Amino acid sequence: MAKIQIGRTELSVNPLGLGTNKIGGYNLFPNLDDEVGKKVIQSAIDHDVELIDTAFMYGLGHSEELIGEVLQKNDRHKVVVATKGAQQVAADGTVTLNNTPEFLTKSVDESLQRLHTDYLDIFYIHFPDQDTPKAEAVGALQRLREAGKLRAIGVSNFNLDQVKEADADGYVDLVENQYNLLQQNAVKELLPYLSEQHISFVPYEPFAAALLTGRYAPDNLPHFEEGDHRLNIDLYKPDQLKANVAKVEQLKPIAATYHATVAQIVLAWYMKNPLIGPVIPGARTPEQLLANVQSEGLQLSDSDYKIIEQIFVSFFENSRQ
């Protein structure tokens, strides 16, 4: 598939990347294996998955450390590394958001050390804080770009007004926000704006915390171990879960016609969507990574794309009216 240009930069990537909150993210998921996680990263590099997306909050730097170990054994220039920062952790473990230029500069330098690299391809402000002017925070990252420490600037979990403020000087290249077929309301206005401004949109949680993988059915609803962050997700609450699983059930016949899995069909839908940039599904094992990679070979028909859109009452249908 054709590469995707990142924002207004000269940076481009293959459409399918890798999200790594299950690699080293011991504070998010139980029973993670570091050695398996490193194998996932290596498998991604071996199969031309260029964009590897991580964050300080994935294991409080541990995900970055594992990725850094693998990067040292590979050609750094083959990998587009994206990381995120904004969380300040106190001695007692309390986490607060900090977007000040001083803290973001420190965060970038610490990420560089953990990743064993002298530049980041992409750095996102992970969450906005309440006090720092957004353009001031982004301005600090622009100075780091000018110093050669990063190639592209992103913001994450920013609403439309916050994105506009952050991009006052035209420095923002990407927005990474929650988006998937089951959670589209937050981007009814955001995506058209980003497209107009040539800012790339990177959706996180593309599988809606596994609901869109097709692994569940009305008679096989999910159950999670204590400590799994999915226990706190609205999509999994009893008043929503059955209806969400029923929607996903409608994808199974479509997937069968392509000899594909539901997860692969979902990824193919995102990659066909002109308003969406690179997609970063997670993978806990190399096998899951390879299954995701196979979705790049799927070409959804226009009619099937529209059927899937209608199943999930896509906002794109409303935006065309």
Output the domain CATH number for residue 110: 3.20.20.100
Q: Does residue 3 fall inside a structural domain?
A: no
Cα 20 to chain centroid distance, Å, stands at 9
Asked if 156 contacts 84 with a C-beta cutoff of 8 angstroms, the reply is yes
Number of domains forming the structure of the chain: 1
| Cα–Cα distance measured from residue 23 to residue 249, given in angstroms and rounded to the nearest whole number | 29
In a domain, 150, yes or no: yes
**Length of the chain (residues):** 321
User: What's the confidence (pLDDT) of residue 229?
Assistant: 67
5 domain residue, yes or no: no
Q: What is the domain extent for residue 218?
A: 11-319
In a domain, 210, yes or no: yes
- Label residue 1 by pLDDT band (50, 70, 90): confident
Asked if residue 1 belongs to a domain, the reply is no
Q: Are 112 and 118 in contact, with CB atoms under 8 Å apart?
A: yes
Contacts of 99 (CB under 8 A, 6+ apart): 86, 125, 128, 129, 132, 134, 137
Is 2 within the bounds of a domain? no
- Please say whether the beta carbons of 162 and 194 come within 8 A: no
Mean pLDDT of 12-24: 97
Q: For 222-233, write each residue's pLDDT tens digit.
A: 777 777 666 778
Q: How far is CA 236 from CA 182, 216, 242, 247, in A?
A: 11, 12, 9, 14
Instruction: Choose, from 58, 124, 179, 270, the residue flagged as catalytic.
Output: 58
What would the mean pLDDT of 5-15 be, rounded to a whole number? 96
- Residue 4, both tokens: 């995707």
**Is position 58 annotated as part of the catalytic site?**
yes
Residue 162 located in a structural domain: yes
Question: Which is higher by pLDDT, 43 or 210?
Answer: 43
pTM of the predicted structure, to 2 decimals: 0.92
Whole-number pLDDT of residue 94? 95
CB atoms within 10 A of CB 317: 12
- Assigned domain for 156 exists: yes
What counts of helices (H) and strands (E) characterise the chain? 12, 11
pLDDT more than 90, % of the chain: 84
